[in-house]
């Protein structure tokens, strides 16, 4: 962690809410579903699809988890009404995983029940390592119960991921580096090891006939993915790239222009402040990017 990153993490709680809102504005659609609809419509007009995340993690009560599930249902209904090209990404802890596996599963099923009639996909985000086994179990049970349009996420930074990728052959899987900082015993520390794990997992998924969602803004990884796609002669319908709202839009535009599918992850919701702070505190590297944004905005003001 650089000194600058460390400094940013240390002062985070002291940053006034409106400043956090301003800093996080490019990365979050806004507090309401209308904000998400507006942003998705803009992305669709640029030839990009979206996956929408209702903000809310680690809820304290079953009713909060059910309320989040209801927000997803409302979002899916709105996308259908508006003719928007968007699906959803759910977080197991937001849907109650820490309160009980069965509660979480019921809530995911409620979201799937709203998504399936309109052929929309439900991606189950991967959270910290205390949830990995339950999240993969959740996915496998849902798949085995006949839900075809649901898929998990793998985090290349985890040492277990290549083995998980081998076992998920055929599933629709998002592969990303992983945002959570975990003990070294289970997570690579070296950036190149993470990249190598990403590429190996991607190759295994494609070998197994998976639809792969390549979620990264790392140009080195994007280039490796493009190489493997070209080598295998994959049609653009056999994979997609994914990026977070507000990050490396230039790289995303290049992919779209070259004919690749690009899906943008669009978070929205009342819990934007908690989400921003958590992301920043969990991963000091992100704090470093924010520090960079602040520095750039200072320069722009001159
Ligand atoms: C669509 C999508 C879904 C994701 N889902 C999950 C998930 O379910 N679970 C999970 O643990 N993680 C998830 N992530 C986060 C992911 O694990 C990484 O933490 C994040 O994508 C940064 O890694 P990177 O591959 O972009 O590489 P990095 O090396 O971190 O970034 C490459 C470049 O991208 C730019 N960049 C990256 N992040 C930022 C930022 N926050 N602000 C400004 N610039 C930035 C910088 O220019 C940087 O040099 C997801 C990411 C994406 C794109």
Separation of CA 216 and ligand 1 centre (Å) = 6
pLDDT higher than 60, residue 301: no
Of 215, 251, 278, 279, the one to substitute when testing ligand 1's pocket (max ligand atoms within 8 A of C-beta) is: 215
Is pTM beyond 0.75? Reply is yes
Residues catalogued as catalytic: 125, 174
Residue 295 CB partners (closer than 8 Å, separation 6+):
none
Lowest mean pLDDT: which of 160-164, 184-188, 266-270, 296-300? 296-300
Q: Which residues pair with 18 in a beta bridge?
A: none
| Mean of all residue pLDDT scores within the chain | 91
Q: What is the pLDDT of residues 252-283, one digit of tens each?
A: 999 999 999 999 999 999 888 887 777 777 66
For the chain, the maximum distance between any two Cα atoms, rounded to a whole number of angstroms, is: 59
DSSP assignment letter at 98: T
Token couple for 105: 């599963």
Q: What is the pLDDT of residues 77-132, one digit of tens each?
A: 999 999 999 999 999 999 999 999 999 999 999 999 999 999 999 999 999 999 99
Contact 243, 251 (CB under 8 A): yes
Contacts within 8 Å (CB) and 24+ apart, 182-190? 182/128, 182/129, 182/157, 182/158, 186/129, 186/158, 186/159, 186/160, 187/129, 187/157, 187/158, 187/159, 188/157, 188/158, 188/159
Q: In 118-247, where do the E strands start and end?
A: 122-124, 150-151, 153-155, 173-176, 212-215, 239-244
What is the atom index within ligand 1 of the atom nearest the CA of 91?
8
């Amino acid at each position: 962690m650089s000194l600058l990153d460390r400094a940013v993490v240390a002062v985070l709680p002291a940053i006034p809410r409106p400043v956090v809102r301003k800093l996080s504005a490019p990365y979050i659609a806004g507090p309401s579903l209308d904000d998400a609809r507006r942003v998705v419509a803009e992305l669709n007009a640029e030839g990009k699809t979206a996956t929408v995340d209702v903000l809310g993690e680690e809820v304290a009560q079953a009713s909060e988890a059910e309320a989040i599930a209801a927000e997803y249902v409302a979002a899916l209904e709105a996308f259908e009404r508006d003719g928007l090209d968007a699906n959803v990404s759910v977080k197991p802890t937001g849907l109650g995983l820490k309160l009980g596996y069965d509660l979480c599963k019921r809530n995911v099923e409620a979201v799937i029940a709203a998504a399936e009639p309109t052929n929309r996909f439900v991606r189950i985000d991967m959270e910290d390592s205390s949830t990995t086994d339950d999240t993969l179990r959740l996915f496998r049970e849902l798949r085995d119960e006949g839900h075809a349009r649901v898929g998990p996420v793998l985090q290349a930074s985890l040492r277990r991921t290549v083995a998980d990728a081998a076992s998920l052959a055929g599933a629709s899987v998002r592969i990303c580096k992983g945002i959570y900082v975990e003990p070294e015993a289970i997570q690579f520390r070296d950036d190149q090891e993470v990249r190598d794990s990403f590429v190996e997992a991607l190759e295994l998924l494609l070998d197994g006939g998976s639809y792969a969602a390549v979620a990264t803004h790392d140009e080195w990884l994007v280039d490796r993915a493009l190489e493997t796609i070209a080598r295998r002669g994959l049609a653009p319908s056999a994979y997609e790239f994914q990026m977070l709202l507000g990050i490396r839009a230039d790289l995303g535009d290049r992919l779209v222009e070259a004919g690749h599918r690009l899906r943008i992850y669009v978070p929205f919701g009342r819990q934007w402040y908690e989400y921003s702070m958590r992301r920043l505190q969990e991963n000091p590297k992100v704090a470093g990017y924010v520090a960079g944004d602040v520095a750039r905005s200072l320069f722009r003001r001159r």
